[in-house]
A and B are shown apart, each in its own frame.
Chain A
Amino acid sequence: MSTWIRIASIASVVLLHIVLMPALFPSVSVPIALVTTSVVWTALLGFPAVLPPLLTAIIICDSILFGSVQFGSLYFVGVSYSVSFFMKRTLLGERSGLGSAVLAIFTGGAVIGYPIFAWLSTGMPTENPIPANMLSDFFLAIFFFIVLIPVLRWFESMIRTLRQDAQFSIK
């Protein structure tokens, strides 16, 4: 059962990235949904555990949208590792209020940094570096961080509960 919930959480992220975001915010070229998911999942699961769902989501999204994985997708692994790196060294995970605020700002920063990485990795421009666009992307990322935190936390708590249930059930 927990596997199905994991699949549902990955499917939600994929749908958010390929359907909801483009339709709701067509002018946004930065993959805000995937960047935010990388940060939130890493904060909830920890770095090594985040890799299987994150890589699965990346590969599915890129396969549907582009036919194969893009070099730009390496960015999400980098973001995820950076979150884990800073959380461990600053003990942000121990301070939930301050930690969430810092992670939200980190998400905004990571979204602003994506076009530079995409430009370096593919040599193609993603959008004009207009400060107003960057600012709106920054705030949109923070908004998505606030929305995604409870949703993904709910999925993870369900998975944890079911795993414990399986572990302690006596047959």
Chain B
Amino acid sequence: MVRKFFFQTKLSKALLAACLLAFLAWWSPAFLGKSIASVTQVFLFPFERIFSYVAFESRETLRFFSSIGELKTRNEELVRENLDLRSEAALLKEVRRENEMLRRDFDLDLRNQYQLVSAEVVALGGVARGQSLIINRGSGAHMEVGMPVIVGKGLLVGRISEVFFGSSRVDLLSSPESMVAVTTPDGSAKGIVRGEHGLGLLFDMVPRTDVFKRGDTIVTSGLGGEFPRGLLVGTLQDPEYTSDKLFQRAPVISPVKYPDIRFVSVIRESKP
């Protein structure tokens, strides 16, 4: 029987492969990851779009058939909600007109003047898909790291963390690195919203003296200049004190489920 040396065995090759991956994970070279991602994204991009379209449509069809029994009740709920929102919108339209007139009178710039670039989500990544999105706009569409990403007219979902040629990675608010200065619309509570390992959002570092309750909405405060003021982040849940009793905090529920996001808008320029 021919005796094998250790380096000829499968175990040695497995260990070598594991060591290579461990070294790359430890070294974490940004330039290498970015180059690989950029090159492969260029080739995979057309297929990504087709695959994501097929996958989203299939999921929507499946969801439609599985929720057919709930459609009647859901429809009634939405009709009621629509009526409430319509009356609220009419009221806000009046307030907005008044606000714009006052801002003009006081020579202040109008708020929320964004230049938006729409993009399609082609891939989702991270823990339970709550950490990052890949969108189909990259350096070719003048995307830059740090640009805020919203859904609809102003629901903040994250910011661009890496730009490739034809695509960009968006770190969602629920990713562990995410931290955004927020406030309640009336300014009664200020703090930060940070991600909880892709599992949710937390309104944190709120001083004890600040007042907020379950059901309050929070918006970006504009502090730090990274995000424009007034972007909706989510709705607060039951508040609690931190273990050292110095601050308050509360879980935040975003109005959208991040894995369901298919189209987003990137704020390229905004007036504070």
Chain A residues with a Cβ under 8 A of chain B: 11, 14-15, 18-20, 22-24, 26-29, 47-48, 51, 55, 58-60, 62-71, 73-74, 77-78, 80-81, 84-85, 124-127
Contact = CB atoms under 8 A, between A and B. Distances in A.
A127 B51 CA distance: 26
Contact of B127 (A62, A71, A77, A126): A126
B102 interface: no
Contact of B55 (A20, A58, A63): A20
Interface in B45-59: 47-48, 51-52, 54-56, 58-59
Interface of B: 10-11, 13-14, 17-18, 20-22, 24-26, 28-30, 32-34, 36-37, 40-41, 43-44, 47-48, 51-52, 54-56, 58-59, 122-129, 132, 134, 161-162, 169, 176, 197, 199, 257, 259-260
B11 A65 contact: no
A78 B17 CA distance: 10
B40 A63 contact: yes
Interchain residue pairs A-B with the least CB separation, the first 10: A26-B259, A65-B125, A23-B55, A22-B124, A29-B128, A81-B14, A69-B24, A63-B36, A68-B28, A19-B51
**Consensus secondary structure, chain B interface:** helix
A131 B88 CA distance: 44
Contacts of A24: 55, 58-59
A81 B185 CA distance: 56
A15 B51 contact: yes
Contact of A77 (B21, B129, B134, B259): B21
13 contacts: A15-B48, A18-B125, A20-B54, A29-B129, A47-B13, A59-B36, A60-B40, A63-B37, A66-B33, A66-B126, A67-B33, A69-B25, A74-B25
A77 B23 CA distance: 14
Nearest to A11: B44
A58 B169 CA distance: 18
Nearest to B132: A65
A135 B28 CA distance: 34
Given A14-B40, A23-B52, A58 B128 contact: no
A55 B199 contact: no
A73 B36 contact: no
Contacts of A65: 123, 125-126, 132, 134, 169
Contacts of B26: 71
Given A59-B36, A64-B40, A68-B29, A22 B129 contact: yes
Contacts of B36: 59-60, 63-64
B202 to A, nearest CB: 15
Given A23-B59, A62-B33, A78-B18, 9 more contacts: A19-B52, A26-B260, A65-B125, A66-B126, A67-B30, A71-B22, A77-B21, A78-B14, A127-B199
A126 B51 contact: no
Given A51-B13, A67-B169, A14 B29 contact: no
A69 B20 CA distance: 10
A36 B33 CA distance: 24
